[in-house]
Amino acid sequence: MEHALPRKEVVRGKKRFDFIFRNGKKINGNLVRSFILLKGENNQKKTILFGVKVSRNIKRAVDRNRIKRIIRETFRLNKSLLGNVSTKQSRISAILFFYPGKQQALSKPSFSHLRDDVISIINIIGQSHF
């Protein structure tokens, strides 16, 4: 499993997800909504934490899991675009949240649309100065 996201880079737990949803800055894409939280803790190592949530509007668990896998893999392959941000701040927590509209919930999103949307959000995060 050398190609997976390391456990130390994954957001875990309902409390942490809720905290990031409440206090994070929201960035909207076409299909994916991102919540970003920067923490300037001196005792923490400079890391980027990442989590994925998919709305229950996607009824089948198989489809929700596929969307999560696509988003996680796209983030893992493109997290180098966030390198400059992680040196400015001590810690970045990001949650990418797939929340489709009613029309999108009926059809499966394509790999290329999800990938392009996640990459555009990563670029926005990498270029912005929070």
- Ordered per-residue pLDDT tens for the chain, 130 residues: 467 777 877 888 888 888 888 888 888 888 888 888 877 554 455 567 788 888 888 888 998 899 888 888 888 888 777 766 555 555 667 777 776 655 555 567 888 888 898 888 888 887 775 5
Is 17 within 8 Å of 51 (Cβ atoms)?
yes
List the domain range (segments joined by +) for residue 123: 9-127
For β-strands 32-39 and 47-54, DSSP reports them as: unpaired
Q: Is residue 3 part of a domain?
A: no
CA angle 48, 50, 54 (to 5 degrees): 165
Using CA atoms, how far apart are residues 51 and 125, in angstroms rounded to an integer? 15
Say which CATH number the domain at 72 has: 3.30.230.10
Q: Is residue 4 part of a domain?
A: no
> What is the residue-wise DSSP string for 42-92?
TTS-SEEEEEEEE-TTS--HHHHHHHHHHHHHHHHHHGGGGHHHHHHSSEE
* Domains of the chain: total: 1
Q: Is residue 55 part of a domain?
A: yes
Q: Is residue 2 part of a domain?
A: no
Is 79 within 8 Å of 48 (Cβ atoms)?
yes
